[in-house]
């Protein structure tokens, strides 16, 4: 019976996939049917997922990875010398993910019905398409967690990447009057491209792994012999010198996780992903996309553990450092954000940093624990914020309908400065949000406290007791994470106070009202889980440890750490209340934090200018390179080379001049302005995103090289000249230079 059920694993991702296909092909004209198809798809996946979970709980000893798992082979692909086997599997980590993913997805699906305006006068015009996309998204995540090999995992990983692009850019026709504000279409593209950077790195890692092991299935890759072999072998790289192969592969795979889980330096896409509909944000931030990165590292944890630090295995140190740094940096940025969803976005990045850092110091169980609890309370917070936005927006519509002359420019329903005093208008949303916030801040005894505490305790324990890791790293991680914990409590309190306490600061907030039951019920259910989930992971009776952590020693309870983090959490929250809650902001009043922090606040508000930096050092050179190569083909005539070099240098000089001006001018928005002043090119990137940039390059090429284009192009002898000259150069090189080189 149990075996037979486990053999049905492949159905779990199939149900949402079928729902996707059904909606796209047949039911899309009917909102009602599309809703039901999507619900039934994820609902069946949920039922099956929980069945698997509870079955696994009774069967822990047979399912502990890597040896013990239940394989469901599917497909074999011969690749020349070897055969690539593909299939699904169930083990304890998968089972735990199956507890979380389909359930949170189900809650989000239910909530989406109300959020996308089902049954109202203005349902979203692409309502059915939305349900199709999120079904595919759920399919991607579910397929990822049940994969038994890195190749299918990667394929589902890419499906999620595609869906994230489609969903973040769901309102692709939306634009803002402020040209600097990112539009949904650009945000989708940004998410897709940024995560792809990580994906490419990961793919290289997978290729390297495959070339070394000849297999990508977890069972083969994480077997003791293979890991031993990978740890023994050394790989020479041009700049870094030699390192164990396992280290190189682990770091490359971690690159994928950095992209998907939005860790520094690839975190930039996640805050902008807020441009998608709120259920999507919840989906990305809680149940699926970002968890996938952490899941990947957890899944590959044996590989990360394969080489100890004193044998050159720096991979865990890298993981720990990036995680801890991200956790702290993101929590500081969150302090200065006013968009209610952006605060949550940075808190997600920060909490993901916690998990990654936890994995980096070896706190495997704590990381997985935090992954689960975080998924629940973060989904709750996002859906709550969506409810708030929904309410405020409706309030705005109501007054806009009342008097038409009321339009005072663009109204932003996401801005917390436009809210306030919503506690009375939306009590259910408010209370569930406060519970979620408490869990995030780590208030006893809510879920977040226990998982966070276990991470901190582990770091402290590691610092005190272990030698092999060096003594510095755990302390460093512990310090960063503790500070981040205090900041988290502070900005959560700030957010709650700004949103729910005091008096409404706008008319829209004054007219807000509670959301429909299909939205508030998921909130209450998630709130329930946000309260109780932590109780299964208390240091005294840690069920998570029993489930996934057989191979790891339990972390003892440390009253010092628990006490300190409680004090910090409560202290942070109280500080937040003192600043924002005791004397609530009135309309038009400046954020006190801005006054106190001065210029630092500007830096935080602009997210440390990382986006601008990327524009300067990545996007622009790439575009320039493309432009250059195009010119190579358009304008390849040697006798015009001189001309071209002259023009290029003149233009470079102009650009440099522009840079100088911008530096002198810009004292506040230094880099942002420089990037814009640098060239029309990057300006176009700003305005229209990558797609616009493609046209933009065309424009620049046309403007810059108009006379050259009219002179050349389409002239076959020109092509021949290039071909013959290149052939002669190659021949000369091979005859005269290569023998010398040999």
Partner 1 sequence: MLIASQILGLIAPQWILLVAAMLVLALDLTLGEEREGWLPYIALLGLGAALVASLSLWNRQVALFEGLFLIDRFAVFFQIIAVLATGLVILASIGYFEGKTPYKGQFYALLLVTALAITLLASAADLVMVFISIEVLSVTSYTLTGYLIADRKSTEAGLKFFLYGAAASAIMLYGMTLLYGATGSTNLAEIGRTLSLASGEGSRWLPIAAIVMLLVGFGFKVSAAPFHQWAPDVYEGAPTPFAAFLSVGSKAAGFAILLRVFLTALPDFRVDWFALVTTLSIATMTLGNLIAIFQENIKRMLAYSSIAQAGYILIGLACWDPQATGRESISAILFYLLAYLFTNLGAFTVVIAVERAVGTNEISDYAGLIRRNPWLAAALFVFFLSLVGIPPTGVFVGKLLIFAAAVRLEYYALVIVALINGVISLYYYYGVLRRVFFLAPRDEAPIAVSTPLRVVLAVTLIMTLGTAIFAQPFIRLALTSAVL
Partner 2 sequence: MGISHVLFILFSVLILGGGVMVVTRRNLVQAAGALILTLFGVAGLYVLLEAGFLAAVQILIYIGAIAILIIFAVMLTRRLADEQEPGLNSQWAWALGTAVMALAILVIVIQGTWPLAGGVVGNAPPLTGDSTSRLGVALLSPEQYAFPFEVASVLLLSAMLGAIVIAREKRH
Partner 3 sequence: MVPLSWYLMVSAALFCLGIFGVLARRNAVAILMGTELMLNAANINLVAFWRHLRPDVMSGQVFTLMVFVVAAAEAAVGLALCIAIYSSRGTVVVEDMDLLKG
Residues that bind partner 2 (CB under 8 A): 637-639, 717-718, 721, 724-725, 728, 731-732, 735-736
In the region spanning residues 680 to 709, those forming contacts with partner 1, defined by CB under 8 A, are 690-691, 694, 697-698, 701
Decide whether 538 or 643 has the Cβ nearer to partner 2.
643
Under rule CB under 8 A, residue 78 binds partner 1: yes
Q: Which residue in the set 8, 21, 74, 155 belongs to the binding site for partner 1 (CB under 8 A)? A: 155
Residues that bind partner 3 (CB under 8 A): 634, 709, 712-717, 720-721, 724
Backbone angles phi, psi at 414, to 5 degrees: -85, -15
Sequential DSSP letters for 593-642: HHHHHTHHHHHHHTGGGHHHHHIIIIIHHHHHHHHHHHHHHHS--GGGHH
Give min distance, CB of 622 to partner 3, in A. Answer: 21
Give min distance, CB of 690 to partner 3, in A. Answer: 21
Under rule CB under 8 A, residue 723 binds partner 1: yes
Question: Would you say 347 and 491 are in contact if contact means Cβ atoms under 8 Å apart?
Answer: yes
In the region spanning residues 179 to 198, those forming contacts with partner 1, defined by CB under 8 A, are 185, 193, 196
Decide whether 208 or 597 has the Cβ nearer to partner 1.
208
Decide whether 720 or 737 has the Cβ nearer to partner 3.
720
Q: Which stretch binds partner 1 (CB under 8 A): 297-305, 383-391, 421-429, 628-636?
A: 628-636
Question: Would you say 498 and 417 are in contact if contact means Cβ atoms under 8 Å apart?
Answer: yes
Decide whether 139 or 203 has the Cβ nearer to partner 1.
203
Decide whether 616 or 721 has the Cβ nearer to partner 3.
721
626 binds, among partner 3, partner 2, partner 1, none (CB under 5 to 8 A by kind): partner 1
Q: Which stretch binds partner 1 (CB under 8 A): 202-210, 448-456, 502-510, 587-595?
A: 202-210
Decide whether 409 or 714 has the Cβ nearer to partner 3.
714
CA distance 739 to 332: 59
Cα 648 to the chain's mean position, in Å?
39
Give min distance, CB of 734 to partner 1, in A. Answer: 5
Residues with Cβ within 8 Å of 677's Cβ and at least 6 positions away in sequence, in order, are: 658, 659, 661, 662, 665, 666
719 binds, among partner 1, partner 2, partner 3, none (CB under 5 to 8 A by kind): partner 1
Under rule CB under 8 A, residue 77 binds partner 1: yes
Decide whether 33 or 634 has the Cβ nearer to partner 3.
634
Residues with Cβ within 8 Å of 642's Cβ and at least 6 positions away in sequence, in order, are: none
> What proportions of the chain, in percent to the nearest 5, are helix, strand and coil?
75, 5, 20
Give min distance, CB of 610 to partner 1, in A. Answer: 21
CA distance 64 to 506: 55
Provide the 8-state DSSP code for 551. T
Q: Which residue in the set 59, 158, 546, 550 belongs to the binding site for partner 1 (CB under 8 A)? A: 158
Q: How far is CA 55 from CA 15, 58, 64, 351, in A?
A: 20, 5, 13, 30
334 binds, among partner 1, partner 3, partner 2, none (CB under 5 to 8 A by kind): none
Decide whether 158 or 339 has the Cβ nearer to partner 1.
158
Decide whether 148 or 558 has the Cβ nearer to partner 1.
148
Burial group, residue 737, by CB count within 10 angstroms (0-12, 13-18, 19+): exposed
639 binds, among partner 2, partner 3, partner 1, none (CB under 5 to 8 A by kind): partner 2
638 binds, among partner 3, partner 1, partner 2, none (CB under 5 to 8 A by kind): partner 2
Q: Which residue in the set 1, 3, 29, 79 belongs to the binding site for partner 1 (CB under 8 A)? A: 79
CA distance 529 to 375: 10
647 binds, among partner 2, partner 1, partner 3, none (CB under 5 to 8 A by kind): none
Decide whether 639 or 667 has the Cβ nearer to partner 3.
639
Give min distance, CB of 740 to partner 3, in A. Answer: 24
Provide the 8-state DSSP code for 415. B
Question: Would you say 81 and 211 are in contact if contact means Cβ atoms under 8 Å apart?
Answer: no
Under rule CB under 8 A, residue 314 binds partner 1: no
Question: Would you say 496 and 400 are in contact if contact means Cβ atoms under 8 Å apart?
Answer: no
Give min distance, CB of 632 to partner 2, in A. Answer: 16
Under rule CB under 8 A, residue 211 binds partner 1: yes
Q: Which residue in the set 626, 659, 670, 711 belongs to the binding site for partner 1 (CB under 8 A)? A: 626
What number of residues does the chain have?
742
User: Contact letters (x/-) for partner 1, 102-141, by CB under 8 A?
Assistant: ----------------------------------------
619 binds, among partner 1, partner 3, partner 2, none (CB under 5 to 8 A by kind): none
Give min distance, CB of 714 to partner 1, in A. Answer: 6
Decide whether 397 or 709 has the Cβ nearer to partner 1.
709
Backbone angles phi, psi at 122, to 5 degrees: -120, 70
Under rule CB under 8 A, residue 638 binds partner 1: no
Residue among 450, 452, 93, 448 at smallest CA distance from 298: 93
Give min distance, CB of 731 to partner 2, in A. Answer: 6
Give min distance, CB of 441 to partner 1, in A. Answer: 40
Secondary structure tally for the chain: helices H, strands E = 36, 4
Residue among 538, 542, 532 at smallest CA distance from 446: 532
Q: Region of 541 please: left (phi>0), alpha (psi -120 to 50) or beta.
A: beta
Question: Would you say 108 and 98 are in contact if contact means Cβ atoms under 8 Å apart?
Answer: no
Under rule CB under 8 A, residue 618 binds partner 1: no
Decide whether 541 or 638 has the Cβ nearer to partner 2.
638
Decide whether 650 or 724 has the Cβ nearer to partner 2.
724
Under rule CB under 8 A, residue 629 binds partner 1: yes
Size of the site for partner 1 (CB under 8 A): 48
Question: Would you say 429 and 520 are in contact if contact means Cβ atoms under 8 Å apart?
Answer: yes
Decide whether 653 or 730 has the Cβ nearer to partner 1.
730
Residues with Cβ within 8 Å of 312's Cβ and at least 6 positions away in sequence, in order, are: 242, 243, 244, 247
CA distance 51 to 82: 36
Residue written as token pair 């950077």: 197
SS3 87: strand
Sequential DSSP letters for 208-255: HHHHHHS--BHHHHTSHHHHHHHHH-EEEETTTEEEEHHHHHHHHHHH
Question: Would you say 2 and 59 are in contact if contact means Cβ atoms under 8 Å apart?
Answer: yes
Q: How far is CA 592 from CA 12, 286, 568, 584, 683, in A?
A: 50, 31, 21, 11, 33
Give min distance, CB of 731 to partner 1, in A. Answer: 4
The residues of the shown chain that bind partner 1, judged by CB under 8 A, are: 76-81, 155, 158, 172, 185, 193, 196, 200, 203-204, 207-208, 210-211, 625-626, 629-630, 632-633, 690-691, 694, 697-698, 701, 714, 716-720, 722-724, 726-727, 730-731, 734-735, 738-739
């Amino acid at each position: 019976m149990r075996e037979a059920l486990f053999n049905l694993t492949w159905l779990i991702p199939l149900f949402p996939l079928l729902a996707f296909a059904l909606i796209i092909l047949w039911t899309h004209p009917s909102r009602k049917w599309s809703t039901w198809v999507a619900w039934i798809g994820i609902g069946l996946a949920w039922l099956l997922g929980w069945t698997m979970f509870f079955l696994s709980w009774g069967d822990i000893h047979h399912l502990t990875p890597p040896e013990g798992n239940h394989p469901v082979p599917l497909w074999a692909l011969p690749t020349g010398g070897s055969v690539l086997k593909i299939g699904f599997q169930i083990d304890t980590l998968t089972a735990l993910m199956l507890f979380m993913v389909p359930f949170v997805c189900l809650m989000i699906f239910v909530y989406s019905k109300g959020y996308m305006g089902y049954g109202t006068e203005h349902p979203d015009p692409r309502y059915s398409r939305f349900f199709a996309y999120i079904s595919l998204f759920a399919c991607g995540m579910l397929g990822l967690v049940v994969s038994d090999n890195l190749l299918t995992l990667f394929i589902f990983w890419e499906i999620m990447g595609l869906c994230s692009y489609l969903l973040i850019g769901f309102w692709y026709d939306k634009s803002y009057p402020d040209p600097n504000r990112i539009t949904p279409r650009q945000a989708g593209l940004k998410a897709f491209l940024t995560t792809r950077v990580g994906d490419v790195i990961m793919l290289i890692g997978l290729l390297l792994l495959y070339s070394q092991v000849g297999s990508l299935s977890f069972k083969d890759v994480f077997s003791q012999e293979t890991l031993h072999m990978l740890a023994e072998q050394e790989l020479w790289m041009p700049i870094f010198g030699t390192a164990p192969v396992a280290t190189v592969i682990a770091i490359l795979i971690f690159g994928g996780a950095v992209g998907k889980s939005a860790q520094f330096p690839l975190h930039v896409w996640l805050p902008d992903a807020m441009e998608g509909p709120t259920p999507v944000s919840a989906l990305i931030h809680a149940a699926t996309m970002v968890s996938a990165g952490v899941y990947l590292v957890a899944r590959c944890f044996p590989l990360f553990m394969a080489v100890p630090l004193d044998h050159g295995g720096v991979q865990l140190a890298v993981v720990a450092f990036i995680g801890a740094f991200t956790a702290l940096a993101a929590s500081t940025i969150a302090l200065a954000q006013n968009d209610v969803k952006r605060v949550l976005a940075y808190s997600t990045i920060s909490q993901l940093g916690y998990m990654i850092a936890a994995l980096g110091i070896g706190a495997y169980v704590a990381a997985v624990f935090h992954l689960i609890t975080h998924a629940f309370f973060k989904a709750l917070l996002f859906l709550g914020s969506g409810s708030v936005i929904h309410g405020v927006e409706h309030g705005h519509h109501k007054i806009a309908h009342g008097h038409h002359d009321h339009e005072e420019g663009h109204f932003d329903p996401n801005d917390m400065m436009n809210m306030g005093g919503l506690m009375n208008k939306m009590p259910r949303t408010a209370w569930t949000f406060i519970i979620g916030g408490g869990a995030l801040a780590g208030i006893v005894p809510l879920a977040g406290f226990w998982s966070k505490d276990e991470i901190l305790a582990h770091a402290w324990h590691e610092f005190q007791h272990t030698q092999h890791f060096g003594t510095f790293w755990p302390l460093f991680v512990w310090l960063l994470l503790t500070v981040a914990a205090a900041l988290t409590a502070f900005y959560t309190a700030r957010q709650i106070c700004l949103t729910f306490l005091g008096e409404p600061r706008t008319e829209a907030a004054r007219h807000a009202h509670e959301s429909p039951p299909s939205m508030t019920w998921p909130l209450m259910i998630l709130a329930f889980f946000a309260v109780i989930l932590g109780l299964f992971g208390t240091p005294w009776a840690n069920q998570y440890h029993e489930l996934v952590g057989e191979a790891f020693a339990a972390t003892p309870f440390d009253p010092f750490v628990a006490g300190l983090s409680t004090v910090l959490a409560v202290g942070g929250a109280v500080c937040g209340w003192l600043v924002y809650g005791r004397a609530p902001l009135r309309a038009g009043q400046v954020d006190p934090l801005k006054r106190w922090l001065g210029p630092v606040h500007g830096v935080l508000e602009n997210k440390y200018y990382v986006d601008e930096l990327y524009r300067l050092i990545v996007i622009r050179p790439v575009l320039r390179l493309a432009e250059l190569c195009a010119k190579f083909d358009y304008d390849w005539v040697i006798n015009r080379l001189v001309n071209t070099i002259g023009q290029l240098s003149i233009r470079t000089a102009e650009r440099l001049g522009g840079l100088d001006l911008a530096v002198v001018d810009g004292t506040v928005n230094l880099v942002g302005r420089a990037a814009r002043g640098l060239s029309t090119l990057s300006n176009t990137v700003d305005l229209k995103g990558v797609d616009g940039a493609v046209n933009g390059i065309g424009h620049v090429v046309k403007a810059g090289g108009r006379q050259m284009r009219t002179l050349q192009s389409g002239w076959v002898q020109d092509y021949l000249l290039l071909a013959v000259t290149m052939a002669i150069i190659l021949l000369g090189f091979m005859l005269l230079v290569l023998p010398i080189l040999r």
